[in-house]
Amino acid sequence: MTPEPKPGILDISPYVGGRATLAGVSEVIKLSSNESPFGPGPKALEALARAAQGAGIYPEGSASMLREAIAEVYGLDPARIVASGDGSDSILTMLANAYLREGDEALFAENSFMVYKIATLANSAVPVEAPQKNRAVDVDALLARVTPRTKLVFVANPDNPTGSYLNSAEMARLHAGLPKTALLVIDAAYSEYVMKPDYDPGTDLVTASSNVVMTRTFSKIHGLAGLRIGWCYAPASVCDVLNRIRGPFNVAMLQQYVGAAAIRDTAHVEKSAAHNEKWKNWLIDEIRKTGLTVDDSVANFILIHFPKKLGHNRGDKSAAAADAFLGQRGMILRALTNYGFPDALRLTIGSEAANRKVAAAIRDFMEQ
């Protein structure tokens, strides 16, 4: 006999991130993990150097320095912000730990971020997946699957890996259709990239509601994926719950210093967003010229769809064949079989040089 985990845990398929290496290739162009091509901004790097001097002491436990910087930039109440030193993933997990009991249901769109399902199963709860519509979150499909057992509703906005989004009116309609006993969790990891006037990351809904949480991350536009800093804006009652169960000193002093500097470096954010918008649109246009289908995107990645075959004279043009071809040229994209898109690859917007190289390689692949 051996100790047994809770029901649901052994049903979890472990999360697998995007590849970072290629066998036999010393220098790769990594476009698989939605990382910023610029990395940290100058103010974050300066703070990183200063913060190293305090590595020998415990950090301030509530991450007040970081929370106050976030509140200052976004005009929020710092008391309604909870920070994490393990990315926004850990906040999503804490919410599941706090609000899901065995037999409860957590609702989310199919092909969504896998942490939603992992956190649900880890709490012996039931994951309920609603079909997407045209590779986008379908509000009506979500609402049709709400039951008295629905306790959490996860919505990635923008959605990963599709790059689609719900506008503020659709998100408000979703919230209005949920029972007060269900918590709507808006995962806005890519929100800083969105250039649509009808988009809101969730701030307004959280401010006006008692059952909405918005999660954010420093891993994307701030270029701090390696430091794993996340945060959420939530009702006071939810913050009280999260502060009771989060780990003590859960945001290292180094993370607090660097995060506070990064959030205030609005010039770096604006530069990153402008670069992304320019090269995202350029890549979509260039790849569509090859005959491939590329979805519109508001994030820092695009979803490219490949045919299974193009006939004997053109050979195998599948996503797997494209992935292998690009790998031979030192380029790593994200295969999406585990996301339910076996015939697609996700491409992160990179530097100008990387974008030009990958567009040329995809063109060569389609023309061979």
Judge whether 204 lies within some domain: yes
- Average pLDDT in the 16-41 region? 89
Judge whether 283 lies within some domain: yes
Judge whether 323 lies within some domain: yes
Judge whether 3 lies within some domain: no
What are the tokens at 319? 């996503």
- 196 and 272 inside one domain: no
Residue 29 burial by Cβ neighbours in a 10 Å radius (0-12, 13-18, 19+): buried
Whether the model clears a pTM of 0.85, i.e. scores above it, the answer is yes
What are the tokens at 256? 């607090």
Judge whether 2 lies within some domain: no
Return the closest-CA partner of residue 214 out of 252, 185, 246, 254.
185
Write out the residue range of the structural domain in which residue 307 sits.
Answer: 9-39+267-367
**Cβ of 145: how many Cβ atoms within 10 Å?**
16
- Which amino acid, 235? P
Q: Is the pLDDT of residue 246 over 60?
A: yes
H or E segment and range at residue 233: strand 230-233
Buried b / exposed e over 164-183, threshold 16 CB at 10 Å, is bbbebebbbebbeebeeebb
Number of domains making up the chain:
2
Residue 70 CA to residue 309 CA, distance in Å, equals: 49
- Pick from 18-22, 103-107, 201-205, 265-269: least confident: 18-22
Domain boundary among 265, 282, 316: 265
Judge whether 298 lies within some domain: yes
Nearby residues of 334 by Cβ (< 8 Å), 6 or more positions away: 18, 19, 31, 32, 33, 161, 345, 346, 347, 348
Residue 54 CA to residue 52 CA, distance in Å, equals: 5
User: pLDDT averaged over the chain?
Assistant: 95
Q: Could you give the C-alpha distances from 344 to 311, 329, 367, in angstroms and in order? A: 19, 19, 18
18 band by pLDDT with thresholds 50, 70 and 90: confident
3-class secondary-structure state, position 273: helix
- 49 and 176 inside one domain: yes
- 81 and 221 inside one domain: yes
Taking only the tens place, the pLDDT of each residue in 264-291 is: 999 999 999 999 999 999 999 999 999 9
Q: Are 207 and 311 in contact (CB under 8 A)?
A: no
- 210 and 247 inside one domain: yes
- Average pLDDT in the 60-89 region? 97
Which CATH number does the domain housing residue 305 bear?
A: 3.90.1150.10
- 147 and 215 inside one domain: yes
- 151 and 294 inside one domain: no
- 121 and 229 inside one domain: yes
- 209 and 308 inside one domain: no
Judge whether 1 lies within some domain: no
- 89 and 26 inside one domain: no
Domain boundary among 199, 231, 265: 265
- 168 and 251 inside one domain: yes
- 23 and 140 inside one domain: no
Judge whether 193 lies within some domain: yes
Which CATH number does the domain housing residue 217 bear?
A: 3.40.640.10
Taking only the tens place, the pLDDT of each residue in 211-223 is: 999 999 999 999 9
- 313 and 238 inside one domain: no
Domain boundary among 265, 293, 322: 265
